[in-house]
Chains A and B, each alone.
Chain A
Amino acid sequence: MSTVTPVVQPAAPTAPETPDFEFVKSWKVTIALSIFTVFGILLLVVFGRDGISTMRLSTSSDLIQLPDVELPTRLTGIVISVLLLLITAASVWLVQAQAKAPIWLISVFAVLLLIGFLSWAAADKAIPVPGLLFGSLSLAVPLIFGALGGVISERVGVVNIAIEGQLLAGAFTSAMVASLTQQPLLGLLAAMLAGVLVSMVLAAFSIKYFVDQVIVGVVLNVLVVGLTGFLYSQVMAPNAELLNQPPRFERINIPLLSEIPIIGPVFFRQTLIVYIMYVAVAVVFYGIFHTKWGLRLRSVGEHPQAADTVGINVASTRFWNVSIAGAIVGLGGAYFTLGSVGAFGKEMTAGAGFIALAAVIFGRWDPIRATLAALLFGFASNLQNVLSIIGSPVPSEFMLMLPYLVTIFAVAGLVGQSRGPAASGKPYIKS
């Protein structure tokens, strides 16, 4: 026996016969890939279509004109089916060899499947790629704002089901204020304020009175739907010219950047709100992970008692950060009326808040990943729009389901057991 000196590491264990880790074979990914491969082969080969699919890469106003890409539909389908099969086989081999399918492999699979589907749907037709992406971003903007608010709120320990209500409140107030003042910027401010107000109700009930956060959130959503619906039909609609014709933000083309092929028209010919969004994503990411504010925010969401014992006021940290989250979500609401549609309509957010919530979880409570998730959902929604415009053979009812199908698969299948902030949704009750 050796003498024990005060060192940290405990004495080495007797020669380990077996390692401390064993590989748990998981067939989940492989099964999912197989199902999609079968689906892909059925669609692309068995029900394959003949013709030429055109992908338009440039808009007429671009400085640099890229040529259209023309794909022979059936051949593309067969090539892609083979590639899908190969990737699925590779994943079987990987599981057998006790390794995990790398994320890039799954991404390549998804992109291939997508290209295959697009070329199949666009046989003898043309898909405007910049338009498809531009529309995706537009639809994703409120989702991204909503998701950013959701990330902050959940990171500080309050589940924010009320994103939907905050978006709707923001949309309504911004339309009203911007119409009255003819100042879109004031509308933007009003939207933030409306988001904060909804947040404060959520915060007050869940932090001060320990009411179940999910229930308060749901009730708030219903309340805002009812309130805006009532005010819309009683006040706004009868005086639509005065109250529901907000000036919209103008598109601003960023010099040089807006001329980059594909990327330029999509990202840099946008309105002020979208540029604010880019900044917001960066600021929230930097703030949460690299500043004092973020460290305290995360500590309160992970282990409020520990935060309390180092002198951080848990209740006020939660209250103010949930309010900030509300302001950010409010901006997303303003995008509906001041950025895209141009007028308020009853229940116009149509569940965007819940998709944003899904983006938060799919993005694993990380602002950047949540943004990417929101973009994916935006893409799924816009794909449906574009395909119905060019007239694809897929029934439009099925395409309408697409964004929600993507949401369910993404959240249920790909995320699996992701770990959120430990104290999210749990009230901190000091004895």
Chain B
Amino acid sequence: MKLELRGITKKFGALVANDHINLTVEAGEIHALLGENGAGKSTLMNVLYGLYRAEEGEILLDDVVQHFAGPGDAMAAGIGMVHQHFMLIPVFTVAENVMLGHEDTRTGGRLDLVAARKRVREISDRFGFDVDPDALVEDLPVGVQQRVEIIKAVSRDAKVLVFDEPTAVLTPQETDELMVIMRQLKEAGTSIVFITHKLREVRAVADRITVIRLGAVVGEASPTATNVELATLMVGRAVDLTVDKAPATPGDAALSVRNLTVLDPRGQVLVNNVSFEVHKGEILAIAGVQGNGQTELTEALMGLQPRVSGEITLDGKSLRGHSVRQVLEAGVGFIPEDRNEDGLVGEFTIAENLMLDRSNDEPFVKRWNVQRALLAKFAGEKVREFDVRSQGIDTPVGRLSGGNQQKVVLARELSRDLRLFVAAQPTRGLDVGSIEFVHERIVATRDAGTPVIVISTELDEVAALADRIMVMYRGRIVGIVPGDTPRAVLGLMMAGEAPAGEGAAA
């Protein structure tokens, strides 16, 4: 089925998320929609799927104008979507999720689960998936959940299938497998819209590429274009895809973690007997697919996890079993992985956020009073130093862009005397300019002799920053390898295979 979008314009208040976007996807082609975070790709697709109503423009399927009042209409017209955040009900089984919305029933209104199971098996077999129709979705790994989403769309005879940032949660191997599935779907005549900001994937699988920047189409490219060409088009200026950094000059071991185990309240082992060291003046990157214990490991370091056993020592002093405050006072700086949830108070001003972790002592608080003048001076300096673009230090942080918010977090953490710096997903959801800035500051921190831990699920980031790379899988360390380890090896390690020869260095 041929899909055509003509002059789609979508506004959120004053913000124009999509500005007269034209896009044509021919039948049986994989069309990549490339753009930075916040460029308006997902908005466009939500318009297509009937979740948003566009102010202007029309959607055509096989040259017939469509009017979608909601996702139900879009699906009936043959549009399917694999959402970035899976639209699956965690407590339902696979079969129940697939049948939801177009249920077959038998006498007495009883759900026809037999037919639904059969359908899931049929589609699974067609694509070579191994999905148990009776498994609860919440028990499945994310890669399999994504397949359930695909099954869901295929079971409704989707002729146009939209993949919204599908690889964000996948290992490199799973990503390769997804590419195979996309080609299979294409062979079967399905048109595919593939939304992403990862250049490598676009070039691997797309037939045509449309690049979007700031809500408008800025050009088309062929998959033979180079990374630099695509990146330049996407960002709007020449970009440097590598981080300038001198070789590390590691000093003594500063942080030492021995046999660290973290349990959740139900007794499931989240971090499993982990041991490693971080030296002064080096960046240890912790790589791995989301949800393999990295989050819990950092939280354990910060004193945020209740059930921790093992040893954590920083410069010879134990950190385990201490409160978050004590950990901070020991000189640990921390960028949490979700800045809006854990890093900032959105309603507070920039200045207030800059003193959040020093709110019960001098210099910012004297005799229970916040020293406003001192704070203003400090905030002014930091805003300048970290290039936070805002209307002033009294702007609520919630109104800043993601990049500027992250700079506030970075400024706060780096303005203390650090003995260890932990950055979890430091560039998630940021634009290229901010990513460059954050990376520079992290390298500068290392060069100042501070041990740095960077947790990232993006292999590009890991490769750009790391002096050593530690890969985690299911709560365990698969191995600790040098920073220049080839991507293919890292990919296998992220799927749980220990690097050949060396064995688990843990």
Contacts and interface: CB of A to CB of B under 8 A. Distances in A.
B498 A311 contact: no
B218 interface: no
Given A4-B492, A6-B177, A311-B72, A20 B269 contact: yes
Contact of A18 (B83, B92, B99, B273): B273
Interface in B1-39: 12
B105 A303 contact: no
B100 A310 contact: yes
B110 A9 contact: no
B75 A310 contact: yes
Contacts of B497: 1-2, 11, 14
A21 B76 CA distance: 44
B215 interface: no
A291 B34 CA distance: 42
B49 A309 contact: yes
Interface in B440-473: 473
A287 B108 CA distance: 10
B128 interface: yes
A22 B269 contact: yes
B433 interface: no
Chain A contact patch, size range: 35 or more
Interface stretch (B140-148, B324-332, B356-364, B371-379): B140-148
B88 interface: yes
Interface residues of B, number: 67
Nearest to A305: B87
Interface in B84-120: 86-92, 96, 99-103, 105, 109-111
A9 B70 CA distance: 35
Contacts of A290: 109-111
Contacts of A296: 100-101, 103
A306 interface: yes
B498 A312 contact: no
B299 to A, nearest CB: 18
B269 A14 contact: no
A306 B89 contact: yes
A14 B263 CA distance: 20
A19 B96 CA distance: 31
Interface string B481-506: 00000000000100111101000100
B103 A11 contact: no
Contacts of A303: 87-90
B224 to A, nearest CB: 26
A293 interface: yes
A7 B495 CA distance: 12
Contacts, number: 150
Interface in A16-40: 16-24
Contact of B269 (A21, A295, A306, A417): A21
B273 A17 contact: yes
Contacts of A10: 141, 143, 171, 173-174, 495-496
A431 B143 contact: no
B52 A24 contact: no
Given A23-B267, A311-B75, A302 B128 contact: no
B303 to A, nearest CB: 19
B41 interface: no
B103 A9 contact: no
A11 B495 CA distance: 6
A95 interface: no
B337 interface: no
A71 B87 CA distance: 61
A367 to B, nearest CB: 16
B272 A20 contact: yes
B47 to A, nearest CB: 12
Contacts of A310: 71-72, 75, 87, 100-102, 152
Nearest to B152: A310
A417 B265 contact: yes
Given A292-B111, A309-B51, A311-B72, A8 B129 contact: yes
Given A8-B144, A20-B268, A295-B100, A309 B110 contact: no
Given A8-B143, A291-B110, A13 B474 contact: yes
Nearest to B473: A13
Contact of A299 (B92, B269, B478): B92
B173 A295 contact: no
17 contacts: A1-B492, A4-B173, A9-B130, A10-B173, A10-B174, A14-B478, A23-B267, A290-B111, A292-B103, A302-B91, A306-B89, A310-B72, A310-B75, A311-B70, A311-B72, A311-B73, A312-B101
Interface of A: 1-2, 4, 6-14, 16-24, 287, 290-293, 295-296, 298-299, 302-303, 305-313, 417, 422, 430-431
Ranked 4 nearest A-B pairs via Cβ: A311-B72, A310-B101, A306-B87, A24-B267
Given A14-B504, A308-B71, A417-B265, 13 more contacts: A1-B500, A10-B171, A11-B492, A11-B496, A12-B496, A13-B478, A20-B475, A21-B269, A303-B88, A306-B86, A307-B100, A312-B72, A431-B12
